[in-house]
Amino acid sequence: MKRLGQVFAIILIIGQPWQSRADPFQDATWAYEAGDFAAAMALWLPLAEGGNAQAQMILGIMHEDGRGVPFDPILAHMWQNVAAANGNEKARQLRDTVARYMTLAQVTEAQKRAAGWVIEHPRGITLAPVSALSELRERGNGGDAEAQFKHAEIYDIGKGTPQDFGKALLWYDKAARKGNAGAQRNLGIMYYGARGVVQNHPEAAKWLRLAADQGDGQAQVILGGMHERGEGMARDAVRAHMWLNLAGAHGIKSGRGTRDELAKKMTPVEIAKAQDLARLWMAAHDPSGPPVDVDGIMWRLERARRGDVAQMFLVGMMYDIGHDVRQDYGEAVSWYLKAAAKGHVGAQYNLGAAYYLGNGVAQDFVEAHKWFSIANLTGLKRAIVNRDIISKLMTPAQLAAAGQRKRDWLAGNAGAADPN
């Protein structure tokens, strides 16, 4: 602990930027000094992975001392090697010190792990070891799409090698053609922003769409903006809203914010279409689900919006049972209500079931009785049976309230209880 305290003294002298921001590094230091090694490790690890050489060096010390983590000279050497590659001279000295009591096999393993860490965390290092770059190149030339992507990223951001957009483009292209979503996204960004290539919005849209269809939130938010502005494609607020909505669902906060701003310029019908598209996209890209007929569902939704009562009911059923879309009881109830108001007995019956079970609405026996009674007016036997069952669970006051609700609804929806 004394040795790490000396390191802290050095950091507090030369590391004023951390102090001035009161960032997690200082919190980790305080946690360590208080003896809460696990908390310190939890705070330092993200910093180390983000390229903070001093945090990397301290992780090496903790692994060497066995504080907060098991004693592990291999991981100690690995972290000191990574920090040294980031230009930390103190880490270089500590690495050489720990190597003195390691076997040759352990040192070799530590070096391999350091090279592998650089491959997996290209943004976490400034001066990547030559061995890591060589390994990436070898794996990339062998057809490893992930290695091709990591290699491209190193050239793209200029860590471990001089920044070279041309080489980045080459490696991104290789990985993108093998289906790597990150490479497809970054290749699209390069075409969009004219980085190492002539600006080409249609080409950017092509690659971004491929990444977006794999669920890449960053690609989705960029693609949404391109649809909104008409870059490389016709302007389409509905598609823009859809992609921004999906980006927000995938954790991209800017997607939600931009979507909400765009929605202010859209009609309710356009927003509804965009939301339907987003739901359908989610259903179509659910690996556990069956193939989805998106065009067929969109036709049904369009017909339902235009007042086709049969399609209103079928859309409600679609959401109720999760057929071709994600199950959504609330959405099902909203469509059943529309169809019920137009006299669809199936929708009226299903509303009774929804209120009885509490699916998409708060459980309400009075409301359930009302809807079963309305459906019963057409002679639907199932409605009669269910109404009588639920009646046995209700008080006289509830039964009276249900009867009054039925009469009120029928008075306001003349003809809606006619046989469908």
pLDDT digits (tens, 9 = 90+) for 234-286: 899 989 999 998 988 887 877 888 888 999 999 887 888 888 888 778 777 76
Mean of pLDDT values over 345-353: 92
Phi-psi category of 143—alpha, beta or left, where left has phi over 0 and alpha has psi -120 to 50? left
Q: Domain extents for the chain? A: 2-126, 128-214, 310-412
**What is the per-residue pLDDT across 16-26, written as a single tens digit (0 to 9) for each?**
333 334 567 88
User: Does the pLDDT at position 357 exceed 80?
Assistant: yes
* Residue 75 exposed, middle or buried by CB count within 10 Å (0-12, 13-18, 19+): buried
**Which run of H or E residues covers position 168?**
helix 165-177
Superfamily of domain covering 310-412 = Tetratricopeptide repeat domain (1.25.40.10)
CATH topology agreement for domains 128-214 and 310-412: yes
pLDDT-derived band at 13 (thresholds 50, 70, 90) equals very low
Share of the chain above pLDDT 70, in %: 84
CATH code of the domain made up of 128-214: 1.25.40.10
**Multiple choice CATH, 2-126, 3.40.50.10950, 1.25.40.10, 3.40.50.720, 1.10.10.60:** 1.25.40.10
- Please give the structure tokens belonging to residue 158: 């200029």
